[in-house]
Amino acid sequence: MSNKLKIGVFGYGVVGSGLAHVLKNSKGLDASIVKVCVRDGEKERELDSAVLTTKPDDILSDPEINVVAELIDDADAAYQIVKTALQNGKHVVSANKKMLAYHIEELIQLQWQHKVSFVYEASACGSIPIIRNLEEYYDNDLLQSVSGILNGSSNYILTKIFNDNLDYDVALKQAQDLGFAESDPTSDVDGFDTLYKLIILTVHGFGLFVHPDQVFNFGISNLSPKDIELASQKGYKIRLLGKVTKVNGNHVNLLVAPKFVKPEEHAFTVESHYNGVLIQGNFYDNQFMYGKGAGAHPTGSAVLSDITALAYDYKYEYKKLKYYGGLQYTNDMEVEVYLRYTNKDDLALFNFSDIKESLTGKDFNYVIGTLNLSDLIKIRQQIQGRDVFLAYLGDE
């Protein structure tokens, strides 16, 4: 690639404007934004009108542009943009974790086929360089698990609930007002954002492609004051975590769910809209990475880091895909969970193999026990809409 980077940007929202700002203040990088494609060309922006376009082809077919930065929310549109850009021989930077979770295998093949780079550090954990660390430092088969708080919006809400005694709805509204959560917060609070990021980390950490439908994910939207009270009584906090673990030698499991976090666990100290990622492996024990997971400048800086890497012809090597294959996905594993339920019909859905603690009261029923994750997968559609809350316990 020429060291001169001519960039075409799709989207000029929080991340796109953040990229423009950090690029403007970055010294030593020979890069410029040639064109910005937006949906609404009439909206006022701090951009030269000559740079703006509403036609994707003005970027995708421009031979001068050698880098495409895809920074839009629409996963389907993002997929078409990235696919076309790669097919047209352009290097691509993306921050779209949902698009990647569903299409990463195909897009990796396309970048190999067309001999271009496709980088997406900004898609997972904002300013934390987790993907590149999994690629470059943890590039062997000693890795055992990657876990942590991967969504800043839900973490902000939970921090306000536990630290400031705010009700869930009040904390959510505050997160929305501050721009940490979307007007429709479903992806954040129900664990989908965490799930998409975890799938990306699994590709780089374990060389395994996992479809989102294969993974059990449960969020915090059903969290009640009773759940908070019980966790606090036991000295725990509740945090929404994603975890990918190597189990039984050649199998890998993914789980996204709230967790009862103990004071000695790393996630206990991660507050506000910050992310924290714990990497565990044979011989190197625990490594913990911490930083802002969302926002214009953290994500914009991650995109800029990818663009800077392209100036040095950087490519993900996918060493685990090429050299350490043979791992398989499984949900066949025991997990200890806390289940708060409303009536016996709710409880009957859950196939507990062992019950460690239980309470049946007038307005509060719960069970702490062990069940198989594969059984949770089978009933996940049935528990939607029911007044139940589930969190897991055990090691971080």
> Is 267 within 8 Å of 241 (Cβ atoms)?
yes
Apex 294 CA angle, 291 and 298, nearest 5? 65
Mean per-residue pLDDT for 302-306? 88
166-170, 291-295, 324-328, 363-367, range with the lowest pLDDT: 291-295
> Is 392 within 8 Å of 255 (Cβ atoms)?
yes
Whether the per-residue pLDDT at 2 is higher than 60: the answer is no
**CATH 3.40.50.720 segments of the chain:** 5-119
| pLDDT value of residue 20 | 84
| pLDDT value of residue 138 | 85
Q: Hunting for tokens 């911490």 — which residue is that?
A: 290
For 233, other C-beta atoms within 10 Å of its C-beta total 8
| Cα Rg, the chain, nearest whole Å | 22
Mean per-residue pLDDT for 184-191? 95
For 115-158, the pLDDT digits (tens) are 999 999 989 987 789 999 999 888 777 899 999 999 999 999 99
Whether the per-residue pLDDT at 296 is higher than 80: the answer is no
**DSSP conformation class of 3:** S
Three-class DSSP category at 303: helix
pTM score, whole prediction? 0.95
| pLDDT value of residue 294 | 65
More confident residue, 395 or 85: 85
Percent of the chain with pLDDT over 90: 75
Pairing mode, if any, of strands 251-261 and 216-217? parallel
For 225-273, the pLDDT digits (tens) are 999 999 999 999 999 999 999 998 889 999 999 999 999 999 999 999 9
Q: Which residues pair with 280 in a beta bridge?
A: 145, 286
Q: Is 197 a catalytic residue?
A: yes
Mean per-residue pLDDT for 103-125? 95
> Is 62 within 8 Å of 87 (Cβ atoms)?
no
Q: How far is CA 8 from CA 20, 63, 85, in A?
A: 11, 11, 10
Least Cα distance to 86 among 118, 58, 126 occurs for: 118
| pLDDT value of residue 3 | 65
Whether the per-residue pLDDT at 325 is higher than 80: the answer is no
Choose, from 90, 97, 197, 320, the residue flagged as catalytic: 197
52-61, 125-134, 287-296, range with the lowest pLDDT: 287-296
The yes or no reply on domain 5-119 and CATH 3.40.50.720 is: yes
| pLDDT value of residue 118 | 97
Distance CA 13, CA 52 (A): 13
Residues whose CB falls within 8 Å of the CB of residue 346, separated by 6 or more in sequence, listed in order: 383, 386, 387, 388
> Is 68 within 8 Å of 8 (Cβ atoms)?
yes
Distance CA 175, CA 259 (A): 21
For 4-38, the pLDDT digits (tens) are 899 999 999 878 888 888 788 777 788 889 999 99
More confident residue, 295 or 191: 191
Distance CA 74, CA 164 (A): 34
**Tokens representing residue 112 in the block:** 């190999």
Whether the per-residue pLDDT at 180 is higher than 90: the answer is no
| pLDDT value of residue 324 | 67
At 182, the pLDDT band (50, 70, 90 cuts) reads confident
Superfamily grouping for domain 132-293+327-392: Dihydrodipicolinate Reductase; domain 2 (3.30.360.10)
Distance CA 371, CA 373 (A): 6
Residues whose CB falls within 8 Å of the CB of residue 211, separated by 6 or more in sequence, listed in order: 102
| pLDDT value of residue 295 | 65
Percent of the chain with pLDDT over 70: 98
